[in-house]
Structure 1
Amino acid sequence: MTATAAAAGSRRRAPRPRDEFDPTPWPLALLCGAAGGGCALLAFPPYDLWMLLPVGIALLGAGLLVRSALLAMLVSLLWGLALFIPLTQWASTYAGAAPWIALGVFEALYIVVFGLLARTVMVRRGLCLSSAIVVSALWVGIETLRSSIPWGGLPWGASAFALAESPLLNLGPWIGLAGLAFVVALLGQLLLFGALALLGRRRRGFTGFSGVWPFAIAVAAVLATVVAPHPMNRAPSDRPSMTIAAIQGSMGAIDPVSYTMPEDVFPNHLEVTEDAITRAQQDGTALDLIVWPEDSTGWDPRQDPQLAQQLTSAAQEAHAPLLIGTQVRVGENERLNQSVLFTPEQTTPYAYSKRHPVPFGEYIPLRGFFSQLTDKVDLVSVDMVPGQEPGVMDLGALGQGQGKVGILICFEVAYEPLVHDVVDGGAEVIVVQSNNALFGDSDEAIQQLAQAKVMAVTSGRSVVHISTVGQSAIFSPEGRQIDFVGHWEQGALVADVPLRAGITPAVAAGPWVAIGLGAVGAVGWIAALTGDRRALARPTPRRRRRGD
């Protein structure tokens, strides 16, 4: 073998440099965790500083670049607590401080799991494009898990719900909630790469002023979404819109002990309904459907002839069916949360039962166990049981005009599979009936309204989101706000609501975007485990002093 060949073979066998970045000092890492969670919080309503969500994820990544896995766990926990405890403050309104804090801590544990997985990838693979993709996919996987497990999960705080006022939402009809989460996390990784380079913390790849490039790519990607085309989403050929009146009657304060609905909820909604009908008739507007919110009639008005007659009379006056929200007893210890249609013909031909009751809010899972921990479970004395069928109401088949209306109740609007179910079932518009009165003056109402807007865009359907006390609004399939009523106000949303019959790519893909990205994250993490690289730089030894 010649000397030249031997040298070439030696070069081929030489390992690549393994040190890519300096570890983050522990005080700074903890600060990154707390500050990153705070940035993420400010991305959600009522602040709507959506651009801070990638910044928050970048700070989390910086805090994970430490030598100790235990320290990385603490950084992740701080990040999760800084986001979820204030974000879910609304839970304390009826449940008290202890359950609220427990909920925030539980949600933060998912961030701890993500932090450990992401740290493994970044430390073993280094900061490169492949690791950025894997870490972003892991973010999607953990967010999907948090939105699904346990007891159906809680999507509150999902990345996409911070994008209601962002141009990134234009990608929603194409890639859905999981795709939006991936984009946000990838932007966060780019910001992390750029910041480490500019701060001189990187040894390879983008270093020094070359770190400007990741920032430039991130900004350019966001600007490009401003002109992202919307999928062609055709209207039904025979009816491009439906005239809907959604009624926000408001009410007095809920009893802080029994949490029963005040007696004025029904008469308030009836009064606003009559006013809306009168104005519509004066304007020459023919209503196709009137919608009341969740819990707007208390217990089932079909069992109360007087209430039923008042609802029927309103429908007869409007020459349009009336969809109300009510509670229906099932035996002694269970109930259904239902939407019931009252027609001018004195019939109730359709009812939808809420499919996803909220654990600890509408029913108590493992009641015997949790009753040993807190007496707060007694606030939910009658457990809600789930319905079985998606809420798709075909008005034509019911002899009540034309149009297929998808129905979701309150928190169901946050669950992408439930939204997809009604669209797949033929819904041309989606109605969300909600009761936000239990959450007082908290930010729950405006956060839920942002979820409705995001789901309108991703599903390609107009969303009529109507609450007992607000905030209520109608959104077009493109996310345009058509009408609005504020918090604790009385009023009616009346509009020609656009109908759609096409399917967006996000709905067509269903859960496969989340499954695919989650699989990429899992495979990438396993591949990182099998490697022997370490991207953290070794500590620089101190120079020996003279005389040592």
Structure 2
Amino acid sequence: MWRRLLLSAAGGLCLWLSFPTLGIWPLAVVGVALISLATCGARARVGFLCGLVGGAACFLPVLHWTGIYVGPLPWIALGVTESIYVAFLGLGIAILQSAAPLPWLPRWVWPASGPRVRPFWVALLWVVQEGVRSSVPFGGFPWARLAWSQSNSPLSHLASIAGAPGLTFVVALLGGVLAALVQRWAPGIVGGRRSDAAAYAPRRSLRALWPALAVVAVVAGSIWYPTPTSGKKLQVIGIQGNVPTIGLEFNAQRRAVLDDHARTTAKAAEMVRRGQIPAPDLVVWPENSSDIDPTRNPDAMTEILHAVAEVKAPLIVGAVLDEPAPDVSNTSLLYLPGQGIVARYVKQHPVPFAEYMPYRSFFRHFSSKVDLLTVNFTHGKKTGLFTIPTRSQGNVKVGPVICFEVAYDGLVRAPVEKGAQLLIVQTNNATFGRTAESEQQLAISRIRAIEHGRSVVHVSTVGVSGLITPDGVVHDRSSLFTSKVLSGAMPLRSSLTLADRLGNVPEHLAYALAVASFLLAAIGSRRRRTAVRADTTSPRGRQLV
């Protein structure tokens, strides 16, 4: 037992280290392999415990930024909640890796029992775990998915095939294959007997090297997988204006954040006049860049309109609007020169416990921190799609995505399906301090760029911001808590990737196959029990007993 728990903890720590800021992407494969080995041959309850330990070893350090200003309770509660999903994953893997053989199925579908590491089913259940974790409760929390750890990996190019679920499947499959290779060459790693080695003979033959060759082939193939970056160029400026105060009170000084972004925009306009950067077709401010409602505060509206006139280009502003009362709205506002606000997008997925408080009276029993959130953000009902008139490219369709929405598959895919040629991710990371959260979010935007074949303008109030081309490469990257003008020519693309065409089919297929796998395991278990009863009741069996 202790060896299994140590393997699980090591696996969870490897998963953590695969995410930014360290971002050692091969450790995601190692982490899956260690958890697969820890649960192989384990009883279901032991698999659950191994998954819980591995999940906690990953999520508690990955999500430590959630408690940076509100204390450890929300951080630990979220980390443990996310770990429970991995606990059920461990339970499922333990069941399938110990399931009885089914002679009427091909071995590549349902390998002989041993117990054996079964890479395909490990990968499948990992996709299911992430899908469920990204959906429930309260709309889920799809942070720290295996796919997000691969922004610097050659495997990232595969995101355009089956999206984030497909990339997670590949990473987990490689982890399962690595575990199968280790098990073949070291069958006693989780406490098995050395005599069990006979079950894996001829383990030192060339045939035993197929898992290693498969890993090499997948990684090599992904390096050469095409990621198109061609397209007409749109000149974009991103404004990272910074904030006066780090932490929850970043917008405590009325108009300070707005002033910072207006000032940085004026700097950008001056850089254009001096010929230091090209004239923009579009300027993007981040989430919460207007810290007061410009539709109800004439001074704020005047300052934004002045910035639009000065930079002489359409401007997308992130603002909190005091509507619909008593709630507020986290919005993207499109300003055009000489016209003012012509379109808006309201965030569809406010973050529970941060932008709205579900069951406030219930959760107050656990922490008074729930009352730090005095108002609730409303849920937007429509997909965002702005039509931007430009001098060089005519009308360009832009899809706005606000903050954590970038982690939700459907919310990012929807504007692309409606014709968005460019994605913008507006975020505010001021409430997370100098932690890994900003880097983790930028990594998600990089995978999204590849998945949808779109350039992404990722702009934060405080950083890390960057202009991302469809191959996932970050250009003109900023650092934390500085003001910066980001400028670049972003390729515009209209074609849909295979991931866009498939939509959520890969995830739904994974759910169906997971249900089928447990039905097969139940059938195999029933056949085994029937065979045992038949053997013990036969004359020969009674004689042996």
TM-score normalised according to structure 2 size: 0.88
Following TM superposition, by how much is the alpha carbon of 1:65 offset from its aligned partner in structure 2, in angstroms?
A: 2.3
| 1:16-95 equivalent positions in 2, closer than 5 A | 26-95=1-70
Indicate the residue corresponding to 1:307 in structure 2: 300
Rate the CA distance shift 1:313–1:195 in 2: closer, same or farther, 3 A.
same
Q: 2:204 aligns with which of 204, 209, 214?
A: 209
Indicate the residue corresponding to 1:474 in structure 2: 467
The answer as to whether partners of 2:119 and 2:180 remain within 8 angstroms in 1 is no
| 1:456-471 equivalent positions in 2, closer than 5 A | 456-471=449-464
Instruction: Determine whether 1:155 maps to 2:133.
Output: no
Structure 2 CA distance for aligned equivalents of residues 30 and 165 of structure 1: 30
The answer as to whether partners of 1:199 and 1:208 remain within 8 angstroms in 2 is no
Q: 1:339 aligns with which of 332, 337, 346?
A: 332
Q: 1:421 aligns with which of 409, 414, 426?
A: 414
Q: 1:252 aligns with which of 238, 244, 249?
A: 244
> Deviation digits for residues 442-484 of structure 1, max 9, x if unmatched?
1100000000100000011000000000000011111122221
Q: 1:526 aligns with which of 519, 523, 538?
A: 519
Question: Which amino acid in the other structure matches residue 224 of structure 1?
Answer: G
Structure 1 CA distance for aligned equivalents of residues 225 and 327 of structure 2: 48
Rate the CA distance shift 1:333–1:190 in 2: closer, same or farther, 3 A.
same
Following TM superposition, by how much is the alpha carbon of 1:295 offset from its aligned partner in structure 2, in angstroms?
A: 0.5
Q: 1:112 aligns with which of 87, 90, 93?
A: 87
Indicate the residue corresponding to 2:353 in structure 1: 360
Structure 1 CA distance for aligned equivalents of residues 505 and 61 of structure 2: 32
Following TM superposition, by how much is the alpha carbon of 1:72 offset from its aligned partner in structure 2, in angstroms?
A: 1.9
The answer as to whether partners of 2:229 and 2:469 remain within 8 angstroms in 1 is no
Indicate the residue corresponding to 1:277 in structure 2: 269
Question: Which amino acid in the other structure matches residue 186 of structure 2?
Answer: L
Structure 2 CA distance for aligned equivalents of residues 401 and 348 of structure 1: 19
The answer as to whether partners of 1:254 and 1:261 remain within 8 angstroms in 2 is no
Q: Secondary structure at the match of 1:95?
A: coil
Deviates more, 1:302-311 or 1:170-179: 302-311
Q: Secondary structure at the match of 1:225?
A: helix
Aligned-residue identity in percent: 36
RMSD of aligned alpha carbons: 2.2
Structure 2 CA distance for aligned equivalents of residues 363 and 356 of structure 1: 10
Following TM superposition, by how much is the alpha carbon of 1:510 offset from its aligned partner in structure 2, in angstroms?
A: 0.5
Q: 1:226 aligns with which of 223, 235, 251?
A: 223
Rate the CA distance shift 1:185–1:251 in 2: closer, same or farther, 3 A.
same
Q: Secondary structure at the match of 2:98?
A: helix
Following TM superposition, by how much is the alpha carbon of 1:347 offset from its aligned partner in structure 2, in angstroms?
A: 1.9
Following TM superposition, by how much is the alpha carbon of 1:217 offset from its aligned partner in structure 2, in angstroms?
A: 1.8
Structure 1 CA distance for aligned equivalents of residues 198 and 287 of structure 2: 58
Structure 1 CA distance for aligned equivalents of residues 10 and 174 of structure 2: 18
Structure 2 CA distance for aligned equivalents of residues 528 and 454 of structure 1: 35
Structure 2 CA distance for aligned equivalents of residues 364 and 247 of structure 1: 31
Indicate the residue corresponding to 1:496 in structure 2: 489
The answer as to whether partners of 1:198 and 1:212 remain within 8 angstroms in 2 is no
Structure 1 CA distance for aligned equivalents of residues 260 and 42 of structure 2: 61
Structure 1 CA distance for aligned equivalents of residues 450 and 64 of structure 2: 27
Indicate the residue corresponding to 2:443 in structure 1: 450
Following TM superposition, by how much is the alpha carbon of 1:62 offset from its aligned partner in structure 2, in angstroms?
A: 1.1
Q: Secondary structure at the match of 2:242?
A: coil
Q: Secondary structure at the match of 2:416?
A: helix
Task: Structure 1: state its 5+ residue gaps.
Answer: 1-25, 535-548
The answer as to whether partners of 2:13 and 2:57 remain within 8 angstroms in 1 is yes
Following TM superposition, by how much is the alpha carbon of 1:148 offset from its aligned partner in structure 2, in angstroms?
A: 1.1
Q: 1:508 aligns with which of 480, 501, 511?
A: 501
Question: Which amino acid in the other structure matches residue 408 of structure 1?
Answer: V
Q: 1:267 aligns with which of 255, 259, 269?
A: 259
Question: Which amino acid in the other structure matches residue 147 of structure 1?
Answer: S
Q: Secondary structure at the match of 2:99?
A: helix
Deviates more, 1:201-210 or 1:361-370: 201-210
Indicate the residue corresponding to 1:21 in structure 2: none
Structure 2 CA distance for aligned equivalents of residues 262 and 233 of structure 1: 42
Following TM superposition, by how much is the alpha carbon of 1:118 offset from its aligned partner in structure 2, in angstroms?
A: 1.1
Rate the CA distance shift 1:526–1:514 in 2: closer, same or farther, 3 A.
same
Instruction: Determine whether 1:195 maps to 2:192.
Output: no
Indicate the residue corresponding to 2:477 in structure 1: 484
Q: Secondary structure at the match of 1:133?
A: helix
Q: Secondary structure at the match of 2:178?
A: helix
| 1:118-197 equivalent positions in 2, closer than 5 A | 118-125=93-100, 129-130=108-109, 131-197=118-184
Rate the CA distance shift 1:442–1:126 in 2: closer, same or farther, 3 A.
farther
Indicate the residue corresponding to 1:23 in structure 2: none
Structure 1 CA distance for aligned equivalents of residues 234 and 133 of structure 2: 36
| Equivalent residues, number | 503
Structure 1 CA distance for aligned equivalents of residues 364 and 225 of structure 2: 51
Deviates more, 1:326-335 or 1:165-174: 326-335
Deviates more, 1:221-230 or 1:422-431: 221-230
Q: Secondary structure at the match of 2:477?
A: strand
Question: Which amino acid in the other structure matches residue 142 of structure 2?
Answer: P
Question: Which amino acid in the other structure matches residue 150 of structure 2?
Answer: L
Name which structure has the greater RCO, CA cutoff 8 Å, separation 6+.
1
Structure 2 CA distance for aligned equivalents of residues 149 and 397 of structure 1: 41
Structure 2 CA distance for aligned equivalents of residues 312 and 96 of structure 1: 40
Rate the CA distance shift 1:261–1:495 in 2: closer, same or farther, 3 A.
farther
Following TM superposition, by how much is the alpha carbon of 1:125 offset from its aligned partner in structure 2, in angstroms?
A: 4.5
Deviates more, 1:283-292 or 1:27-36: 283-292
The answer as to whether partners of 1:85 and 1:105 remain within 8 angstroms in 2 is yes
Deviates more, 1:266-275 or 1:325-334: 325-334
Structure 1 CA distance for aligned equivalents of residues 202 and 11 of structure 2: 23
Question: Which amino acid in the other structure matches residue 162 of structure 1?
Answer: S
Structure 2 CA distance for aligned equivalents of residues 60 and 303 of structure 1: 54
> Deviation digits for residues 177-227 of structure 1, max 9, x if unmatched?
111111111111111111011114454346532443312321222122111
Question: Which amino acid in the other structure matches residue 325 of structure 1?
Answer: G
Structure 1 CA distance for aligned equivalents of residues 512 and 119 of structure 2: 15
